[in-house]
């Protein structure tokens, strides 16, 4: 291998890692399965003065804001890049993204398994209602767009679900996958070949309600709810909100505002802060901490 080829490969690898870090920093988690309201998992991200991701770890907290703890997917906090946590349908497992790979862990933080990478950068995991498959965003080639893929058990074949672009997948309890394409939402069955466009005036960061009848999503920096047929649009926040996720009992939404996690009722009442940014390691001048990607654990 010539020195020029080596430099080109290193540059390409660096580009993929940088793109994956940007993707990890930007995306919500997805989990919306029925049950009692358990713990809320989220990413605690440290960014530098240029808003570039420095490190990210996963934390969990009770629904009343108590007992906030670090979820132990990383041994070295300073170099950790784990985020996008999402609870499995029974709440017994947590899937997450780690730069260019996916991972899973038991609900108590044990049995951490970093899954072999299937595309150049795998991210944004979302559980299937059977708890045995994951949808995720992947890029098969450096010149290819991001698309949604489905991964079964370890060692199973990979299946591409979308082919004209797709990010931020979320999988409903009724076996439909919603995703973002060109800043609007679309949905399709997990075995379908064609998608149905759901929004026409903007929509990103969707999350299915526990029984798959509605979606929460973001439009122009605020959280909205819409029925699965695209009707019944309702704005939930008026002072900003991103990364919305449903509570397992379907009565509340957790979301991000100003780098903190908030909770509000679907009736727009009871707004309160659930978790504020807290540095896990001594901060370097210019760095700041923000919270992202909440996911609400269903308890059965």
State residue 8's pLDDT score: 43
Which domain range does residue 275 map to? 3-299
Long-range pairs for 166-169 at CB < 8 Å and ≥24 separation? 166/137, 166/195, 167/27, 167/124, 167/137, 168/27, 168/28, 168/30, 168/124, 168/137, 168/204, 168/205, 168/206, 169/30, 169/124, 169/126, 169/135, 169/136, 169/137
| Nearest CA among 133, 205, 115 for reference residue 168 | 205
State residue 94's pLDDT score: 97
Q: Measured between alpha carbons, how far is residue 263 from residues 44, 171, 215, 241, 257 in Å?
A: 17, 22, 16, 10, 10
- pLDDT-above-90 percentage for the chain: 83
Q: What are the pLDDT digits (tens) for 65-118?
A: 999 999 989 988 889 999 999 999 999 999 999 989 999 999 999 999 999 999
Long-range pairs for 268-273 at CB < 8 Å and ≥24 separation? 268/236, 273/65
- Judge residue 7's burial from the number of C-beta atoms within 10 Å of its C-beta, 0-12 exposed, 13-18 middle, 19 or more buried: exposed
Q: What are the pLDDT digits (tens) for 153-209?
A: 555 679 999 999 999 999 999 999 999 999 999 999 999 999 999 999 999 999 999
**Average pLDDT score, the chain:** 91
Question: How would residue 261 be classed by pLDDT, with cut points 50, 70 and 90?
Answer: very high
For residue 202, give the CATH number of its domain: 2.120.10.30
This prediction's pTM: 0.90
Q: Measured between alpha carbons, how far is residue 248 from residues 90, 103, 169, 251, 276 in Å?
A: 10, 23, 18, 8, 22
Q: Domain total for the chain?
A: 1
State residue 186's pLDDT score: 98
Residue 63 scores a pLDDT above 80? yes
Q: Measured between alpha carbons, how far is residue 216 from residues 12, 156, 202, 237, 246 in Å?
A: 36, 31, 13, 11, 7
Question: How would residue 292 be classed by pLDDT, with cut points 50, 70 and 90?
Answer: very high
State residue 23's pLDDT score: 54
């Amino acid at each position: 291998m010539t020195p020029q080829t080596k430099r080109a490969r290193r540059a390409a690898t660096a580009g993929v890692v940088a793109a994956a870090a940007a993707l990890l920093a930007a995306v919500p988690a997805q989990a919306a399965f029925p049950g009692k309201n358990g713990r809320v998992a989220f990413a605690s991200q440290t960014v530098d003065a240029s808003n570039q991701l420095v490190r990210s770890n996963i934390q969990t907290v009770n629904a009343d804001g108590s007992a906030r703890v670090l979820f132990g997917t990383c041994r070295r906090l300073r170099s950790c890049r784990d985020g996008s946590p999402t609870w499995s349908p029974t709440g017994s497992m947590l899937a997450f993204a780690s730069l260019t790979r996916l991972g899973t862990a038991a609900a108590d933080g044990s049995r951490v398994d970093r899954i072999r990478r299937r595309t150049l950068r795998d991210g944004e995991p979302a559980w299937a209602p059977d708890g045995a498959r994951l949808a995720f965003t992947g890029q098969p080639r450096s010149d290819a767009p991001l698309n949604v893929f489905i991964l079964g058990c370890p060692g199973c074949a990979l299946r591409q679900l979308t082919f004209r672009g797709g990010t931020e997948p979320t999988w409903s309890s009724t076996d439909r996958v919603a995703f973002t394409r060109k800043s609007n939402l679309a949905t399709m069955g997990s075995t379908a070949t064609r998608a149905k466009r759901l929004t026409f005036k903007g929509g990103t960061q969707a999350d299915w309600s526990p029984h798959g009848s509605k979606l929460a999503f973001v439009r122009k920096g605020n959280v909205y709810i819409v029925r699965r047929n695209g009707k019944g649009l309702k704005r939930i926040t008026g002072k900003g909100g991103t990364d919305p996720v449903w509570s397992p009992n379907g009565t509340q939404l957790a979301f991000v505002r100003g780098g903190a996690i908030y909770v509000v009722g679907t009736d727009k009442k009871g707004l309160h802060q659930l978790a504020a940014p807290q540095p896990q390691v001594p901060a370097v001048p210019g760095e700041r901490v923000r919270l992202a990607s909440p996911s609400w654990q269903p308890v059965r």
